[in-house]
Structure 1
């Protein structure tokens, strides 16, 4: 009976690999199930093998266990399929030096070493001091710089968020500047975009000492930070901004407000109202001015979009709509779609989504900063 009960629990958890999470805590669980799959696959295998010593509910337990195992392993299979597409579209089917997805990395982890950083104050006003963490490229010489903008629903988070990618990019020859910015509800849009301008200004002024190539900046944002990164990339008239990387960001604030997230996961309308200063009916112009998709034109910078189809915080359709608009304007763009992934899948840089997105980012940077 215990075996059957445990396998039923694993089966219910495995459903998070194919269906969107219905509540906030199940969303967090979905990240574990899909990006740390071996933590669930191994216990499932052990329980299945133990069936030979189980007299009661042996067959029913085995059936449930096999179904759970197949679903738990599905992100791995889908990751292999996605990896082939990734190589085909980014490298014209040329065999890459590093595979986009490697099962062994899930077990032994990547060899990326943590890169130390220096912290600088890039903006100081009467009521707020903003800082950035600068990860110097491990390759010598004048190097491109990636400006990283954290997520957190515009009201939380900081530049300590997900530092593994910062170290990885530094090891690949890029400077990384992870910035803090003014947070809602005290500060409203477009203040964070102005913060990006200030950060770029600071980096340019100190480019000699930091060995930054000021003609090759790339903005990279996650979630709310992706909205800021996209809006900054499409509206700041700076020839030094060469591209933007969008991790599951809300690209259309007007459309997003009309179709809110599941309130059991996130009160997305309240989040947007805090950031934009009111409902869409109260401040429609600000929703429009804060929608990156409305600023896409034939002069927009190359864009990498990364989004999971099971995202329950920021609808996958945001990225679909942005990708279509970029294609209509003949902008160099690539859309990495992850069928199993949810919001924040890159929490584990060594998971299926983490490996593929890291590969996509480095391949994209190589193209736009070449």
Structure 2
């Protein structure tokens, strides 16, 4: 009995300290909150100058074992924050964890409203991928296996980014392999069709939607269009088409900000279009980008799909 306890304790210690015993991580998956010795880190790398002369940057982790003969898929993560808030540095645990598991991984500053509009955020996300591929492929990044993961508003941007890439493949020097939508508001019109009591339950997102109704130019950048015309340009369920890459839609059944019915409707739309899509419902999960159960599901799916 004592021997079994010692073995379990050693397994947990190896994961927490980032040792090379990768077999242990397949047994014990957790989001790491600090860098590990398995990766090289590049922090606050500026990839472009965004609107209002604001510099946009990213954090990147590349496994040390990556090389020309052992290239690693690139995961680009787009953070949550209702388009107007959030920070790439809040999600460094994503790149710590994924690089530990053998992926090159970046968390991106894609610019926030009102400095950017939503379509500007999409362009920034794509430009960050282009920059990483151009400047870091020689360090063992596989530009033919690029994955975009977005959480909440970041998932909204991720979907639009993926669709634009898929519609214009010849314009990019990389191949998008997979898209992960983590409880993204994939049908923004849903929030126009709920009663006041329900709006109180999702007050943060409702305030954000109200803000965009008053400032529709922050959706598409077009000051001549009204809110609903602008909305049609940035509403994922209306924008997606059959060209979209393989997609995982993942949602918690206790999410009050992006109810699971939105994610299910979006998934059904993808299936109707003929997109290779998968839906995972996580029991008991809410609107939580740090849920280890959700990330375990994502990790297992990437291992089987990419």
Please give the TM-score of this superposition, normalised by the length of structure 2. Answer: 0.76
Q: Are 1:186 and 2:115 matched, yes or no?
A: yes
Instruction: Please give the alpha-carbon distance, in whole angstroms, between the structure 2 residues aligned to 1:273 and 1:110.
Output: 34
Displacement of 1:342 after TM fit? 1.2
User: Could you say which residue in structure 1 is the equivalent of 2:226?
Assistant: 282
Aligned to 1:197: 126
Distance 1:218 1:208 in 2: 15
Which of 86, 96, 107 is equivalent to 1:157?
A: 86
Partner of 2:186 in structure 1?
Answer: 251
Partner of 1:123: 48
User: 2:66 is matched with which residue?
Assistant: 140
Shift of 1:113: 6.4
Measure the CA separation in 2 of the matches of 1:180 and 1:110.
21
The aligned residue for residue 11 of structure 2 is none
> Which one of the candidate residues 277, 290, 294 is aligned to 1:333?
277
Distance 2:110 2:250 in 1: 22
Cα distance change of structure 1 residues 167 and 215 upon mapping to structure 2, 3 Å threshold? same
Pair 214,228 (structure 1): closer, same or farther in 2 beyond 3 Å:
same
Residues 212-258 of structure 1, C-alpha deviation per residue, up to 9 Å, x if partnerless? 21111110011100000011111222361111111111001223333
- 1:118 alignment partner, SS class: strand
- RMSD between superposed Cα atoms in Å: 2.7
The alpha-carbon deviation at position 321 of structure 1 amounts to 0.7
Select which of 200, 206, 217 maps to 2:146: 217
Alignment of 1:271 with 2:200, yes or no, is: no
Stretches of structure 2 lacking an aligned partner (at least 5 in a row): 1-24, 220-224
CA deviations over 1:53-102 (Å, ceiling 9, x no partner): xxxxxxxxxxxxxxxxxxxxxxxxxxxxxxxxxxxxxxxxxxxx946xx7
Contact 1:188/1:275 (<8 A) preserved = no
Q: 1:324 aligns with which of 268, 272, 279?
A: 268
Asked whether the equivalents of residues 307 and 337 of structure 1 are also in contact (C-alpha less than 8 Å), the reply is yes
In 1, Cα distance between equivalents of 2:31 and 2:42: 24
Task: Give the whole-Å Cα distance in 2 for the aligned partners of 1:162 and 1:204.
Answer: 21
SS of equivalent to 2:124: helix
Which residue of structure 1 lines up, in the alignment, with residue 35 of structure 2?
114
The CA deviation at 1:308 is 1.0
Q: Which structure is larger by alpha-carbon Rg, 1 or 2?
A: 1
CA distance in 2, matches of 1:112, 1:177: 15
Give me the whole-angstrom Cα distance separating, in 1, the residues matched to 2:31 and 2:252.
Answer: 22
After TM superposition, list the pairs within 5 Å mapping 1:69-84 onto structure 2. Answer: none
Match of 2:158 in 1: 229
Q: Distance in 2 between matches of 1:334 and 1:240?
A: 20
Name stretches of at least 5 consecutive residues in structure 1 with no aligned partner: 1-96, 348-352
Aligned CA distance change for structure 1 residues 275 and 368 (closer, same or farther; 3 Å):
farther
Higher relative contact order (CA 8 A, sep 6+): 1
User: TM-score normalized by structure 1?
Assistant: 0.63
